[in-house]
Chains A and B, each alone.
Chain A
Amino acid sequence: MNKEFVKRNTEAHGWLGLIISGLLFVVFFTGAISFFREEVQLWATSAHIESISLEGQEIIPVSQILEIAIAGRDFNAREHLTIYPPSHLEPYYTAYVDLVDRGGGEKVDALLIHPVSGDIIGDPNDFYLSSFLYIVHYSLNIPFGSYLIGFVALFFLFSIFSGVLIHAADFVKGFFRYRADGRKRSQLLDLHNIIGVISLPYTLMFAVTGLIFNLVIIYQIAFGVILYKGDLDALLTDAGFVTVTPEWQAEPWSNPPVDELYQQSIDTWGGVPSQMRVYNYGDSSAVLEFYGPVEDEFAVQFGVAYNVSDRSEVFSENRNDPNAVSAGLDVVATLHYGSFGGLGLRFLYLILAMGVCALIVTGNLLWVGAREKTMSSAKLNFVGRFTLASTAGVAVATIFAFIAERLLPIGGYDRASYLSYAFVIALVSASSYIWLAADRRKVLVRLLQVFTGACFFLLFVDLVLYPSNLMQYVKNGFFAPVGVDVGILVSAVLGAYVSIKLQGRLSSISNKEKNNFAPEFPETVN
């Protein structure tokens, strides 16, 4: 490879990698937790909603659930009524009821419904942690955030391509190289390269699939304008997107076969729908729409809609000749979410995501190390503190969001917003400490200690306040809440181990400096 080519790409790889490092860390850190989004959601609800045992119990049919959901509400039948049936990770019905707009804008009531008794047991919006972390992952929870994250993914893709080209000459020979006895810079470089190479298929997949999710609109508009001469609806139709818009007839429906159509979709597609939606509920023009995974097939989703009046199909995914775009996007989504290989695969994805987080940190440290002799200490100091804030600061903010999810009382206020505030306040506090602290080397140790302490505090709260809740979930076969607590314990132990190791190293460095410098010279650390 031409030396100038490698040199220029190394410079671009370093600078662009540094610029996107903070946001990329947030994406991978929150993304790693989001692989277990449903488990975290069940952990959150376990403290406030009693465990449900479905063994030997008759589950209420969906037709009754629809009636329970809208009873006593200002339901807008011309809009949607959406139901998520119980699953092995969400043992209750979840319903979203569109309300009539009385001037205050669109409103939706969200309900958790007991699948056996039909009681309304909670509001899913009260348990916002898993959704919050997922939304931060793809859009930072800010306006136009998804486009910003899209461009972060684009520069990440460039970093992958350029990284491979930079490392190409050593790809095979240096595959297992780790110079444990080498200089710190050599060790960091080897670590960066090993993680980069081993995680290459994973990072390539995530960069491309993430870009498709967040920035495909660029090509959608370009293709729509040039190929379809501005007819974006035609583009969406060719891409397999179907919009259900039944016309309100103002005639009440008669004996709607809701449960029969629900069973029909299961019989046709071999899987329980993950989502059911009703349009024009109660009217003769009502349409029932079902979506869900096809059992025993890789990355295949089904979508079907029936006219309630005569059971005819409004649309159905064609199994023999599926639309390439909708089938392709199902594959993209399945690969990205890791939903094709069970719990083991998601753990592997989690470990690789943490590896990418280490890739980002080692990259920043390499960038600083390469410029120690050429760049001012103020600029290097800024980069060092920025790296700390966007990595350790984010980890601390995340565990405080978990604590807020556990401790905030339920009901009567916008609990979701207060959880977001807890995350932001913790992040700002950690960042302020990082920027104001005199000794930057001790900051990381302190943050790790805060993270570890917060993890142990959270476990203490669960063991003291909610042990019976958690045990009841386990007895009923729902292990996710305890599984999340085990994950928090592992994080606490790792945090404690690393902080103790770092503290020990700092102490030996301090002792060396004290022995090497005369007392009248102050230690010049920042």
Chain B
Amino acid sequence: MWKKTSAALIGGCLLSISLTLNLNYLLPLSVDALLMLGMLLAFPVWGALMVWCYSSSDGMQAWKRCSGLMTLSLALNTVLFFSQA
């Protein structure tokens, strides 16, 4: 349970930041609307990721899940970051 919890808290937090940043880059809204949307969605996304981590068979699978999705999300973050620079 401790390993799943570490994945849920740390992995979930970092993933939620990365995913909401992607939304920030992608959605055609004003800057204040994007900030508010990010604030509203970030915690439910983190909560959902926690459910995903705790439904893993063990801590290793939970971390693998987070790392896999994080790799994809970070790749998109990087592409979007440089395309908007």
Chain B 16-31 interface mask (CB, 8 Å, partner A; 1/0): 0100110010000011
- B43, A211: Cβ atoms closer than 8 Å: yes
**Bound complex: CA A167 to CA B14 (Å):** 29
Chain B 40-65 interface mask (CB, 8 Å, partner A; 1/0): 10111011101100111100000000
Of the candidates B4, B36, B38, B81, which one forms a contact with A12 in the assembled complex, judged by CB atoms under 8 Å apart?
A: B4
- B51, A323: Cβ atoms closer than 8 Å: no
Asked if B39 is at the interface (CB within 8 A of a chain A CB), the reply is yes
Of the candidates A9, A211, A223, A328, which one forms a contact with B55 in the assembled complex, judged by CB atoms under 8 Å apart?
A: A9
Q: Quick one: given A208-B44, A219-B17, A219-B20, are A9 and B36 in contact (CB under 8 Å)?
A: no
**Bound complex: CA A511 to CA B23 (Å):** 65
Which residues of chain B come closer than 8 Å to A240, judged between CB atoms?
32
Bin the interface of chain B by size: 20 to 34
- B47, A158: Cβ atoms closer than 8 Å: yes
Asked if A8 is at the interface (CB within 8 A of a chain B CB), the reply is yes
- B36, A8: Cβ atoms closer than 8 Å: no
Asked if A162 is at the interface (CB within 8 A of a chain B CB), the reply is yes
Q: Please give the distance in Å from A273's CB to the nearest CB on chain B.
A: 24
- A238, B56: Cβ atoms closer than 8 Å: no
- B47, A15: Cβ atoms closer than 8 Å: no
- B47, A154: Cβ atoms closer than 8 Å: yes
Asked if B33 is at the interface (CB within 8 A of a chain A CB), the reply is yes
Which residues of chain B come closer than 8 Å to A5, judged between CB atoms?
55
Residue of A nearest to B14 (CB): A222
- A239, B32: Cβ atoms closer than 8 Å: yes
Asked if A425 is at the interface (CB within 8 A of a chain B CB), the reply is no
Residue of A nearest to B44 (CB): A208
A 227-253 contacts with B by CB, 8 A: 227, 235, 238-240
- B35, A325: Cβ atoms closer than 8 Å: yes
Q: Quick one: given A9-B55, A162-B51, A324-B30, are A215 and B35 in contact (CB under 8 Å)?
A: no
Secondary structure dominating the interface of B = helix
Asked if A161 is at the interface (CB within 8 A of a chain B CB), the reply is yes
Asked if A272 is at the interface (CB within 8 A of a chain B CB), the reply is no
**Bound complex: CA A218 to CA B36 (Å):** 14
Asked if A165 is at the interface (CB within 8 A of a chain B CB), the reply is yes
Asked if A172 is at the interface (CB within 8 A of a chain B CB), the reply is no
Asked if A157 is at the interface (CB within 8 A of a chain B CB), the reply is yes
Q: Please give the distance in Å from B14's CB to the nearest CB on chain A.
A: 9
Which residues of chain A come closer than 8 Å to B57, judged between CB atoms?
4, 8
Which residues of chain B come closer than 8 Å to A207, judged between CB atoms?
43, 47
Interface centre among B8, B39, B55 (most CB of A within 10 A): B39
Q: Please give the distance in Å from A212's CB to the nearest CB on chain B.
A: 6
- B13, A212: Cβ atoms closer than 8 Å: no
Asked if A226 is at the interface (CB within 8 A of a chain B CB), the reply is yes
Chain A 209-222 interface mask (CB, 8 Å, partner B; 1/0): 00110011011001
Chain A 9-33 interface mask (CB, 8 Å, partner B; 1/0): 1011001000000000000000000
Which residues of chain B come closer than 8 Å to A157, judged between CB atoms?
43-44, 46-47
- A325, B32: Cβ atoms closer than 8 Å: yes
**Bound complex: CA A219 to CA B32 (Å):** 14
Which residues of chain A come closer than 8 Å to B51, judged between CB atoms?
9, 158, 161-162, 165
Which residues of chain B come closer than 8 Å to A212, judged between CB atoms?
39-40, 43
- A324, B36: Cβ atoms closer than 8 Å: yes
Which residues of chain A come closer than 8 Å to B32, judged between CB atoms?
238-240, 323-325
Q: Quick one: given A12-B1, A161-B51, are A154 and B43 in contact (CB under 8 Å)?
A: yes
**Bound complex: CA A238 to CA B30 (Å):** 10
**Bound complex: CA A157 to CA B42 (Å):** 12
Of the candidates A161, A215, A227, A324, which one forms a contact with B33 in the assembled complex, judged by CB atoms under 8 Å apart?
A: A324
**Bound complex: CA A160 to CA B47 (Å):** 9
**Bound complex: CA A323 to CA B32 (Å):** 6
Which residues of chain A come closer than 8 Å to B38, judged between CB atoms?
219, 223
**Bound complex: CA A180 to CA B9 (Å):** 39
**Bound complex: CA A8 to CA B50 (Å):** 12
**Bound complex: CA A9 to CA B4 (Å):** 11
- B24, A8: Cβ atoms closer than 8 Å: no
Q: Quick one: given A8-B55, A218-B13, A238-B35, are A328 and B40 in contact (CB under 8 Å)?
A: yes
Residue of B nearest to A220 (CB): B39
**Bound complex: CA A240 to CA B35 (Å):** 11
**Bound complex: CA A238 to CA B36 (Å):** 11
Q: Please give the distance in Å from A152's CB to the nearest CB on chain B.
A: 13
Residue of A nearest to B48 (CB): A161
Which residues of chain A come closer than 8 Å to B50, judged between CB atoms?
154, 158, 161
Which residues of chain A come closer than 8 Å to B20, judged between CB atoms?
219
Residue of A nearest to B81 (CB): A226
**Bound complex: CA A10 to CA B4 (Å):** 14
Q: Please give the distance in Å from B61's CB to the nearest CB on chain A.
A: 10
A 295-330 contacts with B by CB, 8 A: 323-325, 328
**Bound complex: CA A12 to CA B21 (Å):** 29
Q: Please give the distance in Å from A165's CB to the nearest CB on chain B.
A: 7
**Bound complex: CA A154 to CA B36 (Å):** 19
Which 8 A-B pairs give the minimum distances between C-beta atoms?
A12-B54, A324-B32, A328-B36, A157-B47, A324-B33, A211-B43, A324-B36, A158-B50
Given contacts A4-B55, A219-B38, 13 further A-B contacts (CB under 8 A): A8-B54, A154-B50, A158-B50, A161-B48, A162-B54, A208-B43, A222-B17, A223-B21, A223-B38, A227-B24, A235-B35, A324-B32, A328-B36
16 CB < 8 A contacts A-B: A15-B1, A158-B47, A158-B51, A158-B54, A162-B51, A162-B54, A207-B43, A208-B43, A211-B43, A223-B21, A226-B81, A227-B24, A235-B35, A239-B35, A240-B32, A324-B32
